[in-house]
């Protein structure tokens, strides 16, 4: 399938999810997750009008940035090793995986401009998942106030891998509630207005529950190319 066709099908599904939940489709940004696919396929995504590209490895960011033509907004969505921050910090626009103080310290040390970050939350508590426990989020965000290079634009989560709509919905709702709590702290570097949630198999539910950035790989660009 051409990326263009996948994108238009996904936009239809976004529109419908917005209608069901009384939201504006302009408020949903689609990040094409290109971690499984080639630079050519990534180029196809950009040609199809996709503005946001997500990668979970530094090598992926470098490879794609060195080969593609055109503008993109780059999202780092994978877990980020502290010692590798310096290799990628000037190349990316958003980090979706801020989950520990040592990482924040390194970003502060290496960044030349403010970095837009999502705090990653492990809402479901699954051991295999990265991210802070929900209880740890407010104290963590308060600690981030000391780092003027970090701007907490929102919260990110990965839902459990399940078809059970109720489990998914509960997970997204919890992230949304937590976002409100963080924004109520009124910290100047943590407006926390965004929610990065929803992937190929659950983005419609995520949108119904308030997502503003969906991260779509398989359903948009495919799994390999
Ligand atoms: C791979 C990945 C995605 C995209 O997953 P799909 O199911 O292929 O849409 C989204 N978010 C993160 C953090 C990922 O690692």
According to the model, what pLDDT value does residue 104 have? Answer: 98
Q: What is the pLDDT of residues 106-163, one digit of tens each?
A: 999 999 999 999 999 999 888 878 999 999 999 999 999 999 999 999 999 999 989 9
**Rounded to the nearest whole angstrom, what is the distance from the C-alpha of residue 183 to the centroid of ligand 1?**
26
**Helix axes of 39-47 and 58-67: crossing angle, nearest 10 degrees:** 60
According to the model, what pLDDT value does residue 201 have? Answer: 96
- Ligand 1 atom, smallest distance to 33 CA: 4
Nearest Cα residue to 84 out of 102, 72, 64, 65? 102
Mean pLDDT of 160-180: 96
Residues forming a β-bridge with 152: 117
Cα–Cα distance, 22 to 26 (Å, whole number): 12
Residue located via tokens 């958003």:
94
Mean pLDDT of 58-83: 96
Looking at the chain, the whole-number percentage of residues with pLDDT higher than 70 is 100
**Rounded to the nearest whole angstrom, what is the distance from the C-alpha of residue 77 to the centroid of ligand 1?**
8
Average pLDDT, the chain: 96
- DSSP conformation letters of 56-121: SSHHHHHHHHHH--S--EEEE-S---GGGHHHHTTT-SEEEEE--HHHHHHHHHH-SS-EEEEEEB
Which of 199, 213, 222 for a ligand 1 pocket mutation test, highest count of atoms within 8 Å of Cβ?
Answer: 199
- Ligand 1 atom, smallest distance to 223 CA: 8
Mean pLDDT of 187-212: 98
Residues with CB under 6 A from ligand 1: 33, 35, 56, 77-78, 158, 199-201, 215-219
- Ligand 1 atom, smallest distance to 215 CA: 10
Mean pLDDT of 57-72: 96
**Rounded to the nearest whole angstrom, what is the distance from the C-alpha of residue 216 to the centroid of ligand 1?**
6
Q: What is the largest CA-CA distance in the chain?
A: 47
Helix boundaries (H) for 145-216: 165-184, 203-208
- Ligand 1 atom, smallest distance to 77 CA: 13
Burial of 1: CB neighbours in 10 Å, binned 0-12, 13-18, 19+: exposed
225 confidence band (pLDDT: 50, 70, 90): low
Which of 3, 9, 33 for a ligand 1 pocket mutation test, highest count of atoms within 8 Å of Cβ?
Answer: 33
224 confidence band (pLDDT: 50, 70, 90): confident
Q: Is the pLDDT of residue 197 over 60?
A: yes
């Amino acid at each position: 399938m051409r990326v263009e066709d996948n994108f238009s099908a996904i936009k239809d599904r976004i529109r419908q999810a917005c209608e069901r939940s009384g939201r504006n489709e302009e408020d949903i940004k689609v990040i094409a997750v290109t971690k499984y696919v080639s630079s050519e396929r990534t180029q196809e995504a950009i040609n199809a009008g996709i503005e946001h590209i997500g990668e979970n490895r530094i090598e992926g960011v470098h490879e794609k940035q060195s080969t593609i033509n055109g503008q993109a907004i780059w999202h780092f969505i994978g877990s980020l090793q502290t010692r590798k921050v310096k290799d990628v910090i000037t190349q990316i626009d958003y980090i979706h995986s801020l989950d520990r103080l040592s990482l924040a310290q390194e970003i502060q040390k290496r960044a030349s401009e403010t970095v837009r970050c999502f705090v990653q939350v492990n809402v479901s508590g699954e051991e295999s998942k990265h991210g802070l426990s929900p209880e740890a989020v407010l104290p963590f965000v308060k600690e981030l106030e000391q780092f003027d290079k970090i701007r907490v634009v929102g919260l990110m989560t990965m839902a459990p891998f399940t078809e059970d709509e109720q489990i998914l919905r509960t997970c997204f709702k919890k992230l949304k509630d937590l976002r409100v709590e963080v924004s109520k702290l009124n910290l100047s570097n943590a407006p926390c207005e965004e929610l990065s949630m929803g992937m190929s198999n659950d983005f419609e539910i995520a949108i119904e529950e308030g997502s503003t950035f969906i991260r779509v790989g398989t359903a948009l660009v495919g799994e390999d190319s």
